[in-house]
């Protein structure tokens, strides 16, 4: 058992959520399912900050990103992919495989998207149908200025905004309707502290109109059909009922605590984790202004490696993630989203100095 699991997802399940997943399944065409799925959607709406359609899909977050892409962009459509890391790159690749003409607007890893650069990119590329943006880039621990990006998109174009909120949903406001996101894609297994297996896709009326006006090439990921099923009180296909049970229990916990309190708890844990890691000699990747509420990424001190730090922590029951791609050896990422206590974050940062001391090789040779 991983005692203090501080991955960047999946996150541990609270006891109430864990217990709920063990209940007997119900049929998704039975009357009892109707109130059940309707209640979940109603309780997800404020988490997204929308009064529009929210569709649970049985797949991971990436499936939700695919669904968003294939419903609103098609072959030849121009798409601006704003990327600040590997998940932004992946969203662009998904649109590319859907046949879109993808124009990249990339920012260096560790920084947030600069809305002025997004504005310039929109002015350079005419006829952009959709802009892809990652709200919280999990590979670097950076939170993008989603509202500012949306504002620039609205000022410069009629493009739809598709936002990957997989690792921000439930940790910080998405405020979808207020900021003008057209499709927001979340997942169950991160800050929502529910079991893996569900993508949660919120679709605004502009995006729904576009999706309705075209024939979705995917039967499984047809968002208008999925949204109509939810209105009827079922799902288009057999859902992962135990994951929905878990999500129901998690939403009860979230709303019981109050959304604002949940967001504030994430903010405080992030501040605490960042201070602790910096004090232990780790160089924080994100500046304070764009720091993620969900995870902290930091460069390990000279003379050791991320893999060695992770292995040392694991021997004490603490599980963290290392960097992605070229950051694999130099960066560790500590998740502080979902069901996590101050004591668990304090334990991670208190263990770091010993991990560094035990893993640093001769005379400070840089990794």
User: Which residues would be at the binding site for ligand PLP (CB under 6 A)?
Assistant: 9, 60-62, 87, 134, 138, 164, 166-167, 187
Shortest distance in whole angstroms from residue 250 CB to ligand PLP = 16
Shortest distance in whole angstroms from residue 190 CB to ligand PLP = 7
Shortest distance in whole angstroms from residue 180 CB to ligand PLP = 20
Please tell me the distance from the alpha carbon of residue 168 to that of residue 179, in angstroms, as a whole number.
Answer: 15
Residue number with CB closer to ligand PLP (61 or 239): 61
Shortest distance in whole angstroms from residue 340 CB to ligand PLP = 16
Residue number with CB closer to ligand PLP (138 or 296): 138
Shortest distance in whole angstroms from residue 303 CB to ligand PLP = 29
Residue number with CB closer to ligand PLP (9 or 204): 9
Residue number with CB closer to ligand PLP (132 or 356): 132
Q: What is the 3-state secondary structure (H, E, C) of the chain?
A: CCCEEECCCCCCCCHHHHHHHCCCCCCCCCHHHHHHHHHHHHHHHHHHCCCCEEEEEECCHHHHHHHHHHHHCCCCCEEEEEECCHHHHHHHHHHHHCCCEEEEEECCCCCCCCHHHHHHHHHHCCCEEEEEEECEECCCCEECCHHHHHHHHHHHCCCEEEEECCCCECCECCCHHHHCCCEEEEECCCCCCCCCCEEEEEECHHHHHHHHCCCCCCCCCCHHHHHHHHHHCCCCCCCCHHHHHHHHHHHHHHHHHCHHHHHHHHHHHHHHHHHHHHHCCCEECCCHHHECCCEEEEECCCCCCHHHHHHHHHHCCEEEEECCHHHCCCEEEEECCCCCCHHHHHHHHHHHHHHHHHHCCHHHCCC
Cβ-based neighbours of 154, under 8 Å, separated by 6 or more: 180
Shortest distance in whole angstroms from residue 73 CB to ligand PLP = 17
Contact 336, 324 (CB under 8 A): no
Relative to beta strand 4-6, strand 318-322 is: parallel
Residue number with CB closer to ligand PLP (166 or 299): 166
Contact 44, 37 (CB under 8 A): no
Shortest distance in whole angstroms from residue 281 CB to ligand PLP = 27
Residue number with CB closer to ligand PLP (308 or 340): 340
Residue number with CB closer to ligand PLP (38 or 62): 62
Shortest distance in whole angstroms from residue 139 CB to ligand PLP = 8
- Please identify the residue of the shown chain whose CB is closest to the bound ligand PLP: 61
Residue number with CB closer to ligand PLP (67 or 318): 67
Residue number with CB closer to ligand PLP (60 or 359): 60
Shortest distance in whole angstroms from residue 35 CB to ligand PLP = 27
């Amino acid at each position: 058992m991983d005692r203090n699991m501080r991955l960047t997802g999946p996150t541990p399940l609270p006891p109430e959520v864990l217990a709920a997943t063990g209940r007997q399944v119900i049929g998704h065409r039975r009357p009892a399912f109707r109130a059940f799925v309707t209640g979940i959607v109603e309780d997800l709406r404020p988490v997204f900050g929308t009064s529009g359609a929210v569709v649970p899909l049985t797949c991971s977050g990436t499936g939700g990103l695919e669904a968003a892409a294939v419903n609103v962009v098609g072959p030849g459509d121009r798409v601006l992919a704003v990327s600040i890391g590997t998940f932004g790159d992946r969203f662009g690749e998904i649109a590319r495989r859907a046949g879109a003409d993808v124009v990249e607007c990339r920012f260096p890893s560790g920084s947030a998207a600069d809305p002025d650069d997004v504005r310039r990119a929109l002015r350079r590329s005419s006829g952009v149908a959709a802009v892809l943006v990652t709200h919280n880039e999990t590979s670097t621990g950076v939170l993008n200025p989603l509202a500012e990006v949306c504002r620039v998109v609205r000022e410069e174009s009629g493009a739809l905004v598709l936002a990957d909120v997989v690792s921000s949903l439930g940790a910080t406001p998405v405020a979808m309707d207020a900021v003008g996101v057209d499709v927001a894609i979340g997942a169950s297994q991160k800050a929502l502290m529910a079991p893996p297996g569900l993508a949660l896709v919120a679709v605004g009326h502009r995006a729904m109109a576009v999706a309705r006006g075209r024939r979705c090439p995917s039967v499984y990921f047809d968002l208008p059909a999925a949204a109509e099923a939810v209105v009827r009180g079922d799902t288009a296909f057999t859902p992962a009922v135990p994951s929905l049970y878990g999500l129901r229990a998690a939403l009860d916990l979230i709303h019981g605590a109050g959304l604002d309190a949940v967001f504030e708890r994430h903010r405080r844990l992030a501040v605490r984790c960042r201070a602790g890691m910096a004090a232990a000699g780790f160089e924080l990747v994100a500046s304070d202004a764009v720091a993620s509420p969900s995870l902290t990424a930091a460069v390990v001190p000279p003379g050791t490696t991320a893999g060695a730090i992770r292995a040392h922590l694991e021997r004490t029951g603490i599980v963290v993630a290392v960097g992605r791609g070229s950051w694999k050896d130099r960066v560790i990422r500590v998740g502080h989203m979902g069901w996590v206590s101050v004591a668990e974050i304090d334990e991670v940062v208190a263990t770091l100095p010993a991990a560094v001391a035990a893993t640093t090789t001769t005379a400070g040779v840089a990794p």
